[in-house]
Amino acid sequence: MPTTGKPYRVAQWATGTIGLRALRAALDHPELALAGLYSHSPAKIGRDAGDLCGLPATGIRATDSLAAILELGVDCVLYMPRAFDQETVLALLSAGTNVVTTCGLFHHPPSMDPALRTRIEAACATGGSSIHSTGSSPGFITEALPLTLASVQRRVDSLTIDEYADLSQRDSPAMLFEVMGFGQAPADFDQARADHLGAGFGPSLRLLADAFGIPVDTVTAHGRTATARHRTTIAAGTIEAGTVAAQQITVTAHSYGQAALRFRATWYCTTDLDTDWPLRETGWHLELAGDAPLDIDIRFPIPLTRMAETAPGYTANRAVNAVPALCAAPPGIRTTMDLPHLVGAW
């Protein structure tokens, strides 16, 4: 809690799927007090925060004005926008507002774009503020949990983090068929998609490498697809035989030419594939090789039909729980290594 004994005043930015879950979590958090709400959606401007996230009225109404948020002088903004806007974040930090964000640009400052890092650090110095990137993946599964597992090691040799997602019950046709490319004819994997994931998870792997004392030569990303053996009906529509029904993207940090740290995302719409990929149910699997090796499965004990409504909490809750720790931290870009363990408050 702040030294005054009062809750930290926060503003939520913005009101998408993750943002609305964070808004609800912030309103429920005993150490936080909602003071402002930003939304990109014209239909949500002027609506009460409680109404937007299914809670009683709060008196806090959504705005689309950065100036209005700055005028509040809040301790922290939970920044979860449609797309990262550098000038907005610089304005918040320069005004003395701490920022917790699910935008994955700040997991590992040494590997950031140098120009962005310079501007962000200058804004933090001006405002006496801090910024922190987190979430479930990357964040919890690529940083917080591996660092805890490493506490029982004297030597870490390698780590592989597998993320599995069964999308057969996800009723999101546009996302699956148009954005992700399921149900399309197989072709060479779009390297731009692999590079995008590499940009998101590479910094987390570099952070772990620093913590484990593993020198990193390069970080690479590549992807591959598998096709359906038979015509398959899923919640979002139909996947014809011979079209893409699964995809896998692997981000690898290499040390001395060998794979040392790896994050591998496997998303699939059916297990009836033309390949023998070792598929698991939705969740995470970690294999840590060292002098005290570990093999860990993490499963989500909820039906697939409820994943879309439940999964946002894994990302939003960690960001909300980070607010008190970040507000108490020294100014600058703060990583998982800089903050204490994040826990919920009841």
| Residue 213 falls in which region: left (phi positive, over 0), alpha (psi -120 to 50) or beta | left
The third-level CATH classification (topology) of the domain covering 140-305 is Dihydrodipicolinate Reductase; domain 2 (3.30.360)
Which burial class, exposed, middle or buried, applies to 289 when counting CB atoms under 10 A from its CB (0-12, 13-18, 19+)?
A: middle
Q: How far apart are CA 195 and CA 223, in angstroms?
A: 9
The predicted pLDDT at position 193 comes to 87
Give the per-residue SS3 of the chain: CCCCCCCEEEEEECCCHHHHHHHHHHHHCCCEEEEEEECCCHHHCCCEHHHHHCCCCCCCECECCHHHHHHHCCCEEEECCCCCCHHHHHHHHHCCCEEEECCCCCCCHHHCCHHHHHHHHHHHHHHCCEEEECCECCEHHHHHHHHHHHHHCCCEEEEEEEEEEECCCCCCHHHHHHHCCCCCCCCCCCHHHHHHHHHHHHHHHHHHHHHHCCCCCEEEEEEEEEEECCCEEECCEEECCCCEEEEEEEEEEEECCEEEEEEEEEEECCCCECCCCCCCCCEEEEEEEECCCEEEEEECCCCHHHHHHHCHHHHHHHHHHCHHHHHCCCCEECCCCCCCCCCCCC
Residue 241 token pair: 């035989």
Q: Write down the domain spans for the chain.
A: 8-134+322-333, 140-305
For the chain (346 residues), the mean pLDDT of every run of 10, in chain order, is 74 97 97 98 98 97 98 98 96 98 97 97 98 98 97 96 96 93 90 92 98 97 96 97 97 97 98 94 97 96 91 96 98 97 84
Cis amide prior to 203 (ω within 30 degrees) = no
What's the pLDDT at 4? 53
What CATH number is given for 8-134+322-333 in this structure?
3.40.50.720
Which of 326, 316, 314, 282 has the alpha carbon at shortest distance from 300? 282
